[in-house]
Amino acid sequence: MLNQGYGKIINTASMAIVLQNPYFNYYRSGVVKLTQTLGTEWIDRGVKVNCISPGIVDTPLIRSKDLRPLVRRWLVDIPAGRLAQATDLQAAVVYLASEASDYMTGHNLVIEGGQSLW
């Protein structure tokens, strides 16, 4: 990408860093800081580096019987009233990969239904 003078890098962290979750904070914060550093270092070479930080995503594992009580507790903390769907994240990735985001770099796009607003 650096040699061709154009590219998009999209990293994935977690909204847990916004909530200061100690279990995820250390290594996911590293992903965000790497995104910010490379985003500023490489923009003049045509490469934009951004990141998405998803909230809790609705997956088959999340739907398991054992996790139902935990999911109900999580939903209380999510203003959107639902878990993220894969399509919620896909739309963000399409945007970050497209020319529509050419002026954006070093950004962490948090997609969590408002959970970090509480």
Residues with catalytic annotation?
A: 26
Question: How many CB atoms sit inside 10 A of residue 65's CB?
Answer: 6
Instruction: Estimate to the nearest angstrom the gap between the alpha carbon of 90 and the chain centroid.
Output: 11
